[in-house]
Amino acid sequence: MGTTGLPTNITQGSRTKGGIGESTLRPDGTLKVTGEFAYSSDMWHEDMLWGQILRSPVAHAEIVSIDTAEALATPGVYAVMTYDDLPTEVRNYGLEIQDTPVLAHGKVRHHGEPVAIVAADHPETARRAAAKIKVEYKELPVITDEASATAPDAVLIHEGRTDLPQSQLRSTGGTPTIGHVPHPNILHRQPIIRGDVSAGRERADVIVEGEYVFGMQDQAFLGPESGLAVPAEDGGVDLYIATQWLHSDLRQIAPVLGLPEDKVRMTLSGVGGAFGGREDLSMQIHACLLALRTGKPVKIVYNRFESFFGHVHRHPAKLYYEHGATKDGKLTHLKARIVLDGGAYASASPAVVGNAASLGAGPYVIDDVDIEALALYTNNPPCGAMRGFGAVQACFAYEAQMDKLAAKLGMDPVEFRQINAMEQGTALPTGQIVDSPAPVAELLRRVKAMPLPPEQQWLTAGEAADVRQLPGGLSNTTHGEGVVRGIGYAVGIKNVGFSEGFDDYSTARVRMEVVGGEPVATVHTAMAEVGQGGITVHAQIARTELGVTHVTINPADTQVGSAGSTSASRQTYVTGGAVKHSCELVREKVLEIGRRKFGSYHPAWATAELLLEGGKVVTDGGEVLADLVDVLGDEAVEVEEEWRHRPTEPFDLRTGQGFGHVQYSFAAHRAVVEVDTELGMVKVVELACAQDVGKALNPLSVLGQIQGGTTQGLGIAVMEEIVVDPKTAKVRNPSFTDYLIPTILDTPTIPVDVLELADDHAPYGLRGVGEAPTLSSTPAVLAAIRNATGLELNRTPVRPEHLTGTE
Amino acid sequence: MDFLRPASWEEALAAKAEHPTAVPIAGGTDVMVEINFDHRRPEYLLDLTRIGELYEWEIGEETVRLGASVPYTRIMEDLRPELPGLALASHTVASPQIRNRGGVGGNLGTASPAGDAHPALLAAGAEVEAESVRGSRLIPIDDFYTGVKRNALAPDELIRAVHIKKADGPQQYSKVGTRNAMVIAVCAFGLALHPSSRTVRTGIGSAAPTPVRAKTAEEFLNAALDEGGFWDNGKIITPSVAKRFADLCAAACNPIDDVRGTASYRRHAVGVMARRTLMWTWESYRGTAARTEGVA
- For A252-265, the pLDDT digits (tens) are 999 999 999 999 99
CB A719 to CB B272 under 8 A?
A: no
The rounded distance, in Å, linking the Cα atoms of A657 and A427 is 11
pLDDT digits (tens, 9 = 90+) for A129-151: 999 999 999 999 999 999 999 99
State whether A719 and B172 contact (CB < 8 Å). no
CATH topology of domain B192-291: Enolase-like; domain 1 (3.30.390)
Q: Residue A316 pLDDT more than 80?
A: yes
B-chain CB neighbours of A481 within 8 Å are: 276
**Mutation site for B-interface testing, chosen from A54, A477, A739, A781 by largest number of B Cβ within 10 Å:** A477
Nearest chain B residue (CA) to A478:
B276
Split at pLDDT 50, 70, 90, the class of B36 is confident
Chain A contact present for B186, CB below 8 A: yes
Whether the predicted pLDDT of A391 surpasses 70: yes
Expressed in angstroms, the distance from the first to the final Cα of chain B is 61
Q: Is the pLDDT of residue A180 over 80?
A: no
| The CA-based dihedral angle spanning residues A680, A684, A690, A692, taken in that order and rounded to the nearest 10 degrees | 80
| Residue B204 reports pLDDT greater than 90 | yes
Whether domain A29-37+505-644 has CATH 3.30.450.20: the reply is no
Q: Do A40-141+224-271+278-310 and A29-37+505-644 fall under one CATH topology?
A: no
Nearest to A676 by CA among A456, A483, A472: A483
Chain A residues touching B243 at Cβ < 8 A: none
Q: State the average pLDDT over residues B35-62.
A: 94
User: d(Cα A235, Cα A263) in Å, to the nearest integer?
Assistant: 7
pLDDT digits (tens, 9 = 90+) for B137-186: 999 999 999 999 999 999 999 999 999 999 999 999 999 998 988 999 99
What's residue B287's pLDDT? 85
Edge to edge, what strands does the sheet with B199-205 contain? B171-176, B187-194, B199-205
- A806 in B contact zone (CB under 8 Å): yes
Give the range among A174-183, A531-540, A582-591 with minimum mean pLDDT: A174-183
Residue B184 and residue A800: Cβ atoms within 8 Å?
A: no
> Looking at CA atoms only, how far is residue A303 from chain B in angstroms?
9
Tell me what percent of the residues of chain A surpass a pLDDT of 90: 93
**pLDDT for the residue numbered B288:** 72
Report the pLDDT value the prediction gives residue A629, as an integer from 0 to 100. 97
Q: Which helix (H) or strand (E) holds A188?
A: strand A186-194
Compute the residue count for chain B. 296
pLDDT tens digits, residue range A436-493?
Answer: 999 999 999 999 999 999 999 999 887 788 999 999 999 999 999 999 999 999 999 9
Nearest-by-Cβ selection for A806 from B175, B177, B268:
B268
Q: Which of B180, B181, B265 sits opposite A806 (nearest CB)?
A: B265
- CB contacts of B184 in chain A (<8 Å) are 737-738
CB of B97 less than 8 A from some CB of A? no
**pLDDT computed for residue A2 by the predictor:** 37
Averaged pLDDT score across all residues of chain A: 95
With 50 as the cut, is the pLDDT of residue A3 above it?
Answer: no
pLDDT for the residue A15 = 66
Judge whether residue B295 has pLDDT over 60. Answer: no
pLDDT over threshold 90, residue A16: no
Residues with Cβ within 8 Å of A35's Cβ and at least 6 positions away in sequence, in order, are none
- Residue in chain A closest to B172 (alpha carbons) equals A476
* Least trusted range by pLDDT, from A347-356, A730-739, B280-289: B280-289
**Rounded mean pLDDT, A698-716:** 98
Residues A272, A221: contact at Cβ < 8 Å? yes
The CATH code of the domain at A438-495+660-804 is 3.30.365.10
Q: Does A733 touch chain B (CB under 8 A)?
A: yes
Q: Is the pLDDT of residue A4 over 60?
A: no
- The CA distance from B280 to the nearest CA of chain A, in Å, is 9
The CB density around residue A290, as the number of other CB atoms within 10 Å, is 30
Mean pLDDT for the stretch of residues B60-64: 97
Mean pLDDT, range A504-523, rounded to an integer: 97
> Has this prediction a pTM greater than 0.90?
yes
Helix A699-718 and helix A772-789, axial crossing angle in degrees, nearest 10: 40
Work out the pLDDT band at A176, boundaries 50, 70, 90: very low
User: Which of A211, A219, A253 minimizes the C-alpha distance to A339?
Assistant: A211
pLDDT surpasses 50 at A13: no
pLDDT tens-digit map of A604-619: 999 889 999 999 999 9
pLDDT band at A178 (very low <50, low <70, confident <90, very high): low
Q: Is the pLDDT of residue A1 over 50?
A: no
CB contact under 8 A, B176 and A732: no
The structural architecture, per CATH, of the domain A40-141+224-271+278-310 is: Alpha-Beta Complex (3.90)
pLDDT value of residue B175: 98
pLDDT at B292 over 70: no
The dihedral of CA A717, A719, A724, A730: what is its sign? Answer: negative
Q: Is the pLDDT of residue B293 over 50?
A: no
Q: What integer pLDDT is reported at residue B80 of this predicted model?
A: 97
Mean pLDDT of A239-251: 98
- Nearest to residue A492, comparing CAs of A360, A333, A350? A360
Residue A11: pLDDT over 50: no
Binding-face residues of A in 628-687 toward B, CB within 8 A: 678-681, 683
Q: Would you state the pLDDT for residue A171?
A: 52
Domain definitions of chain B by residue range:
192-291
Residues of B in contact with A799 (CB under 8 A): 178, 261
Residues of A in contact with B173 (CB under 8 A): 476
Q: Where are the domains of chain A?
A: 29-37+505-644, 40-141+224-271+278-310, 438-495+660-804
Across the interface, whether the CB atoms of A743 and B265 are under 8 A apart is answered no
Query: Above 80 in pLDDT, residue A12?
Result: no
Q: How many other CB atoms are found less than 10 A from the CB of residue A131?
A: 15
3 state SS of A339? strand
The yes-or-no verdict on residue A6 having pLDDT over 50 is no
pLDDT value of residue A163? 67
CB contact under 8 A, A800 and B179: no
Residues of B in contact with A303 (CB under 8 A): 36
DSSP characters over A25-76? PPTTHHHHHTT----GGG---TT-EEEEEEE-SSSSEEEEEEE-HHHHTSTT
| Residues on chain A touching B180 (C-beta within 8 angstroms) | 468, 471-475, 683, 743, 745-746
- According to the model, what pLDDT value does residue B289 have? 60
User: For A188-241, how does the pLDDT look when each residue is reduced to its tens digit (9 = 90+)?
Assistant: 999 999 999 999 999 999 999 999 999 999 999 999 999 999 999 999 999 999
Residue in B181, B259, B262 closest to A743 by CB: B181
How much is the average pLDDT of B120-135? 98
DSSP code of residue A277: T
